[in-house]
Amino acid sequence: MYVIQNGTLVSAEKTWRADLAVEGGKITAIAPKIPISPGDQAVDASGCLVFPGFIDPHTHLDMDSGVTVTADDFLSGTLAALCGGTTTVIDFATQDRGMGLGQALDLWHKKAEGRSSCNYAFHMAITDWNENTRRELRDMVSAGVTSLKVYLAYDALRVDDGQLLDILGECQSLGLQIGCHCENGDVVNLLQKRELSKGNRGPTAHPLSRPPEAEAEAILKVQQATADAIKLINIAAPSEGVIKIKALEAFQKAADGRATKIIIPSELQSIAGLAAAAKTVFDTEDPKAIPAKTPPKP
């Protein structure tokens, strides 16, 4: 038995001082003082907060985006997760063009099996919408997939407007939750070319090539497409932290969506912190790169 002693436990409801015992991977006791028996291992958590394992529902491990492969795979990514207290990751089993959904799910299981140090689960990302993909979607539900993602940007990943509408309808009928990477891909492509032609290959090119308008337009598009068809939409913010900083107007649009019948949880809470952190970083390089606005309160 492991006993974590003298820590301050944190739950969703409260924080309190207590010892916590773990046996066979399960919490077996929480009490003000848990006695240690021979063979038990005690950890002194004095002055520390003791959290439940965190869940990161948005990771891209060992993923080829068409232009690059993500830096972390399941080996390094899940070790890093555990070091930060995250005990479960939900990654995106991402279909390549020409690949079936079943193949994609198998591939992601292979990437993760025997290499993950923490728990994992998968959303699925659809990049090739056709009749075969539509048929396979039901099998994915049977395999335990409950959430999907589509991209409106990145040429190797994105779906067009008709496909988006079609996928939304299928998700509604199958009871799947869907997340959208909301950016106007054509606008981003154009602005990327402009920044590259100016020789701007540094980090400031990222937000400059992905203005809030490109995101706001895409959010509105999805909002429009789902207004009559979908009861619950989970619009994920773009995956890159930096773009979130520029996307204040876009997030305001998403927040406005809450006044309609569509429920659009967004990552608003994280934006304020990211904006503050990144503003500090970018201010040293180019003060104009990040708007000095306070993010709207969600």
Residues that bind Zn ion (CB under 5 A): 239
Beta strands in the chain, from DSSP E residues, in sequence order? 2-10, 15-23, 26-31, 41-44, 49-50, 54-59, 86-94, 119-125, 147-151, 177-181
Contact between 117 and 86 under an 8 Å Cβ cutoff? The reply is: no
Least CB distance to Zn ion at residue 183 (A): 11
Least CB distance to Zn ion at residue 125 (A): 8
Least CB distance to Zn ion at residue 262 (A): 21
Looking at the DSSP bridge assignments, the partners of residue 41 are 2
CA angle, residues 162, 164, 168, in degrees to nearest 5: 120
Least CB distance to Zn ion at residue 86 (A): 16
Least CB distance to Zn ion at residue 200 (A): 24
Least CB distance to Zn ion at residue 266 (A): 13
Q: At what angle do helices 161-174 and 212-226 cross, to 10 degrees?
A: 50
CA distance linking residue 125 with residue 196, whole number of Å: 29
Contact between 125 and 151 under an 8 Å Cβ cutoff? The reply is: yes
Of 3 and 235, the one with the shorter C-beta distance to Zn ion is 235
Spell out the alpha helix ranges (H) of 113-267.
131-142, 161-174, 185-197, 205-208, 212-226, 241-246, 248-256
Of 209 and 239, the one with the shorter C-beta distance to Zn ion is 239
Of 226 and 239, the one with the shorter C-beta distance to Zn ion is 239
Of 4 and 152, the one with the shorter C-beta distance to Zn ion is 152
Dihedral class, residue 164 (left if φ above 0, else alpha if ψ from -120 to 50, else beta):
alpha
Of 149 and 253, the one with the shorter C-beta distance to Zn ion is 149
Of 125 and 225, the one with the shorter C-beta distance to Zn ion is 125
Of 265 and 291, the one with the shorter C-beta distance to Zn ion is 265
Sequence-distant (6+) residues with CB within 8 A of 53 are: 85, 86, 87, 88, 118, 119
Least CB distance to Zn ion at residue 151 (A): 8
CA distance linking residue 129 with residue 158, whole number of Å: 10
CA distance linking residue 108 with residue 114, whole number of Å: 12
Least CB distance to Zn ion at residue 239 (A): 3
The four Cα atoms 161, 264, 255, 223 give a dihedral, to 10 degrees, of: 20
Of 50 and 218, the one with the shorter C-beta distance to Zn ion is 218
- Residue showing the smallest CB distance to Zn ion in the complex: 239
Contact between 272 and 295 under an 8 Å Cβ cutoff? The reply is: yes
